[in-house]
Amino acid sequence: MEFGFSREQLDFRTEAEDFVRGELPPDWDQKAIWWPGGYGTIPEMETAFEDFSRAFLKKLGAKGWLGLSWPEEHGGQASMIKQAILGDVLSYYRAPAGGVAVSIAAPTIILAGDQELKREFLPRIAAGEAGFWLGYSEPNAGSDLAALKTSAVADGDEYVINGQKIWSSGAHVTEYAWLMAKTDFDAPRHKSATLMIVPNDAPGLTIRPIINICGFHSFNEVFFDEVRIPKKYVVGQVNRGFYNVMLALQFERLAVGVGAFRRVLEELVQFARETEVGGEPLSGKPDVRAKLARMAIELEVFYTLYWQTAFMLETGRVPEQEASALKLMGTELGVLFAQSAVDVLGPFGLLDTASKWAPMAGRIALGYLDSISGPIGAGTSEIQRTIIATRGLGLPRGE
């Protein structure tokens, strides 16, 4: 057993760190909140950072780093480990990483899309020019996605889409919907929906903001009223949408922002070293030390699972159970980190960005609020545990 990175991988990390540090604005740390594990404070989804995010992604694209894991025939380096290293570095600096386009749309198009779709979308995703949002959830279809009602009806060379999506993160700062729509109302539920791409500027598509618990506009509700798309924008086979969504899921799971946890822990340790309460250093308090130690241990386990999942993908194995475990652990770790951080900061942990007295740019108070979104978004913790129990452990599916 060999446990470590190659020289090339270590050099790549250094190059990535130098690059990101050189590109971020000087006040980025004061402004970008991004609570690890949460979905409501990701800078890339905020209009305030839109211009910077787009420019930064184009620079990542120019370096060939948005498609690191893609096969060489599509301009990639076929390296999941490098992608995982880059993900670690980008999230550590709370920098844009390409979101749904990079972690879901591109891998699915590569695996399931036809040549025309690959030619049209892969180069633009690789260049940081085509952003996607995820159009799965509906007001009455979340965990039970197969209950979705948004319809796509064939009409000549086109599909006509009607319906509504909700909790659509980043729809307001991207170009395309990665949409699941019902295409066969008579088929069994899991063979009734199709994955398709819908340009946000298609006539009949309306995006309305939803302001999240932190006060940010991170998600939306999106309405489809007789929206027409060419049939060539179907991804994979018609009525095989659920199969393709499952296929892509394992790649999405590496997008867990592992570095953002490391950063928060470092900042908290520094805060505990530098802060005195009643003339005593915070770092000397047993409960503070115990909390920081627990965070460090949990983070180490999380990292191990992260690298293991990347290694499995790199060597052609399917990390189904590991992928669910990563999602589950990362988002629940986000809650643990938030609760521990508030405890470590004491009353200061309740101050958000509006207060000049707030430590760590008010990140802790907002993170506490955002942390509850993690175990819900992208498949709840209960659903992840069910996947691990059934597909991982082979237990029978419950009622």
Ligand X SMILES: Cc1cc2nc3c(=O)[nH]c(=O)nc-3n(C[C@H](O)[C@H](O)[C@H](O)COP(=O)(O)OP(=O)(O)OC[C@H]3O[C@@H](n4cnc5c(N)ncnc54)[C@H](O)[C@@H]3O)c2cc1C
Task: Indicate which single residue of 275, 283, 321, 380 sits in contact with ligand X (rule: CB under 6 A).
Answer: 380
Instruction: Return d(Cα 217, Cα 211) in angstroms, integer.
Output: 5
Measured between alpha carbons, how far is residue 261 from residues 2, 125, 165, 275 in Å? Answer: 26, 27, 31, 21
Nearest-CB residue to ligand X?
Answer: 142
DSSP SS3 for 396: coil
CB atoms within 10 A of CB 78: 15
Min dist. Cβ of residue 3 to ligand X (A): 35
Task: Indicate which single residue of 109, 214, 366, 378 sits in contact with ligand X (rule: CB under 6 A).
Answer: 378
Min dist. Cβ of residue 142 to ligand X (A): 2
Q: Which residue reads 């050099």 in tokens?
A: 11
Which range, of 24-32, 106-114, 267-275, 372-380, touches ligand X by CB under 6 A?
372-380
Long-range contacts of 384-390 (CB under 8 A, 24+ apart): 384/324, 384/325, 384/327, 384/328, 385/328, 387/320, 387/321, 387/324, 388/321, 388/324, 388/325, 388/328
- The interface mask with ligand X, positions 212-231, x = CB under 6 A, is -------x------------
Residue 280's beta-bridge partner residues? 277
Which range, of 147-155, 194-202, 333-341, 380-388, touches ligand X by CB under 6 A?
380-388
Of 112, 191, 198, whose CA–CA distance to 146 is shortest?
191
Task: Indicate which single residue of 373, 384, 387, 388 sits in contact with ligand X (rule: CB under 6 A).
Answer: 373
Tally: H helices and E strands in the chain: 13, 10
Residues 145-204 within binding reach of ligand X (CB under 6 A): 167-169
Instruction: Return d(Cα 261, Cα 306) in angstroms, integer.
Output: 13
C-beta closer to ligand X: residue 14 or 143 = 143
Residues 306-325 within binding reach of ligand X (CB under 6 A): none
Min dist. Cβ of residue 64 to ligand X (A): 27
Structure tokens at 276: 């005195």
Min dist. Cβ of residue 163 to ligand X (A): 13
Residues 18-57 within binding reach of ligand X (CB under 6 A): 39-40
Min dist. Cβ of residue 71 to ligand X (A): 27
Task: Indicate which single residue of 143, 237, 270, 304 sits in contact with ligand X (rule: CB under 6 A).
Answer: 143
Task: Indicate which single residue of 377, 384, 387, 388 sits in contact with ligand X (rule: CB under 6 A).
Answer: 377
Angle separating helix axes 80-92 and 7-23, nearest 10 degrees: 30
Q: What SS3 string covers 341-361?
A: HHHHHHHHHHCCCCCCCCHHH
Instruction: Return d(Cα 372, Cα 267) in angstroms, integer.
Output: 21
Which range, of 59-67, 108-116, 339-347, 376-384, touches ligand X by CB under 6 A?
376-384
Task: Indicate which single residue of 11, 266, 276, 382 sits in contact with ligand X (rule: CB under 6 A).
Answer: 382
Min dist. Cβ of residue 40 to ligand X (A): 5
What is the size of the binding site for ligand X (CB under 6 A)? 22
Phi-psi region of 219 (alpha: psi -120 to 50; beta: other; left: phi over 0): beta
Instruction: Return d(Cα 233, Cα 130) in angstroms, integer.
Output: 14
Min dist. Cβ of residue 100 to ligand X (A): 7
C-beta closer to ligand X: residue 40 or 131 = 40
Residue 353 is a binding residue for ligand X (CB under 6 A)? no
Residues 117-136 within binding reach of ligand X (CB under 6 A): 133-136
CB atoms within 10 A of CB 258: 24
**How do beta strands 176-182 and 132-135 pair?**
parallel
Q: Which residues contact ligand X by CB under 6 A?
A: 39-40, 133-137, 142-143, 167-169, 219, 373, 376-380, 382-383, 386
